[in-house]
Amino acid sequence: MPQEMYSGFFAEFYDILHAGLTDVDSYLEFARRFGPDILELGCGTGRILIPLARAGFRITGIDCSDHMIARCQAKLSLEDESVRSRVNIVRQDVTGFELENRFNLIIAPCNMLNHFPDHKVLIAMLRCVKRHLRPQGVFILDNSIPDIPYMVDVNRVERIAVFEHPLTGTKLVHRFTATYDFVSQLEHTAVHLEEYDDTDKLLRKAAYSTTMTYHFPRELRAMLEAAGLEVFHEQGSLHEDCPIGPGSTEMVFFAR
């Protein structure tokens, strides 16, 4: 029986899969510019949330996955009380959240918006963002720019990656097949995850399938505007202030 995305074995695997990302440093810099009170949409296991709290920022994280929140809380339990005291985790749907606080900075990192294929749902979420910003507060989202030639090449092709579990040393095999609907801008994915010991004995396995979308810069500008947010800056990389252009792989929007 397929699991839900980000549950069980997959919640545990999330941090291993994303271990090579370098976006945390960028969000620390954004927090220094626009903090100190921050809201992260889709905080997951705390991959970005916890480093921000360590750096002294007050941060609220929203997520709807009990498994991801549990992993975040387990990681937080290993932190100093001073770090834990700056974190508030809320289980809510990011597309219709309601919090008492308003924030200097709201962030939607790492393709979080791609979880919402219905643009009306996404605009509703962006309107929630607007309501929760303080005057002059800033919303930052970062998304990958779709690489259409690559997507055509890998359409319906199974890709396999092998990882070593950092705690147990076991072998993790990640099998991923994407089927693209280029007319509807949908990505249907089937994922299988297996864990083997040093004798290649299968210890665990799990599977899930899901449908996500992908966006282009012009679409995101239009949706931000439809939600009442004004883009005041954009760049084609998290790590440097360069324009979004033909060679960009990322799009980062700053809105008020």
168 and 233, same domain (yes or no): no
> Domain total for the chain?
2
Compute the distance between CA of residue 215 and CA of residue 241 in angstroms, rounded to an integer: 21
188 and 99, same domain (yes or no): no
Residue 46 lies in a domain: yes
pLDDT tens digits for range 99-108: 999 999 999 9
Tokens of 213: 């979308």
154 and 135, same domain (yes or no): no
138 and 158, same domain (yes or no): no
pLDDT tens digits for range 127-179: 999 999 999 999 999 999 999 999 999 999 999 999 999 889 999 999 999 99
Supply the CATH number for residue 112's domain: 3.40.50.150
Residue 1 lies in a domain: no
Residue 124 lies in a domain: yes
Contact of 86 with 57, CB cutoff 8 Å: yes
Residue 3 lies in a domain: no
112 and 231, same domain (yes or no): yes
114 and 24, same domain (yes or no): yes
Residue 66 lies in a domain: yes
Compute the distance between CA of residue 32 and CA of residue 47 in angstroms, rounded to an integer: 18
134 and 245, same domain (yes or no): yes
110 and 69, same domain (yes or no): yes
236 and 200, same domain (yes or no): no
Residue 2 lies in a domain: no
pLDDT tens digits for range 40-95: 999 999 999 999 999 999 999 999 999 999 999 999 999 999 999 999 999 999 99
46 and 109, same domain (yes or no): yes
Question: pLDDT band at 2, cuts 50/70/90?
Answer: very low
Q: What is the mean pLDDT of residues 12-17?
A: 87
Residue 74 lies in a domain: yes
Residue 182 lies in a domain: yes
Read off the pTM.
0.94
The residue segments making up the domain with residue 192 are: 148-213
| 103-108: strand order across its sheet | 87-91, 58-63, 37-41, 103-108, 133-144, 250-255, 231-235
Strand ranges (E), 120-240: 133-144, 158-164, 171-181, 186-196, 202-213, 231-235
Compute the distance between CA of residue 224 and CA of residue 253 in angstroms, rounded to an integer: 9
Strand ranges (E), 4-120: 37-41, 58-63, 87-91, 103-108
35 and 141, same domain (yes or no): yes
Contact of 195 with 165, CB cutoff 8 Å: yes
Compute the distance between CA of residue 243 and CA of residue 95 in angstroms, rounded to an integer: 29
61 and 121, same domain (yes or no): yes
